[in-house]
């Protein structure tokens, strides 16, 4: 149950953050805004690290495969794409497409067992569910 609530909070935070970042970009520009997002996240992470645990920073060098360390680079790309999509589509439409893309890509990762994720069998009911969700997106966009 807690995982479900955290996932809902994550989606809500993503939507609010996307709107905030899009507004900041109107004044500062894309890369200043994106840099601020990443820098302020770093400051929060450092504060949390100081207050909660102090795991070894050197352990980051032990991560294998090394490409798994590209999460921050991907994060900058996420920030850029969320800002651009929200500016062009509006928050609701952008969030729909973002969530659908996340769902489809996450399921492909599970089915193919990519990036060290345990491989899961393809379930047609899930594919049908995603199809129904895509129909919902089309209905939401229909004017």
Mean pLDDT taken over the chain:
92
Instruction: Supply the pLDDT for residue 127.
Output: 94
Domain ranges (residues) in the chain: 1-88, 90-143
Q: What is the DSSP track for 30-88?
A: HHHHHHHHHHHHHHHHHHHHHHHT---GGGGGG-SSGGGGGHHHHHHHHHHHHHHHHHH
Contact (CB, 8 A) for 84 and 16: no
Q: How many CB atoms lie within 10 A of CB 33?
A: 21
Residues 73-126: tens digit of each pLDDT: 999 999 999 999 999 999 988 888 898 899 999 999 999 999 999 999 999 999
Question: What is the rounded average pLDDT of the residues 5-34?
Answer: 92
Instruction: Supply the pLDDT for residue 36.
Output: 95
Instruction: Supply the pLDDT for residue 134.
Output: 87
Instruction: Supply the pLDDT for residue 126.
Output: 94
Q: Is the pLDDT of residue 4 over 90?
A: no
């Amino acid at each position: 149950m807690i995982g479900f609530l955290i996932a809902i909070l994550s989606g809500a935070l993503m939507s609010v953050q996307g709107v905030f970042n899009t507004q900041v970009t109107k004044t500062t520009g894309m890369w200043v805004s994106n840099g601020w997002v990443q820098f302020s996240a770093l400051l929060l992470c450092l504060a949390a690290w100081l207050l909660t645990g102090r795991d070894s920073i050197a352990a980051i060098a032990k991560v294998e495969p090394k490409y798994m360390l590209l999460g921050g680079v991907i994060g900058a790309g996420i920030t850029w794409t969320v800002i651009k999509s929200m500016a062009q589509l509006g928050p609701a439409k952008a969030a729909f497409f973002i969530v659908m893309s996340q769902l489809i890509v996450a399921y492909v990762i599970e089915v193919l067992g990519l990036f060290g994720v345990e491989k899961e069998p393809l379930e047609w009911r899930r594919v049908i569910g995603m199809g129904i969700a895509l129909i919902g997106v089309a209905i939401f966009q229909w004017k």
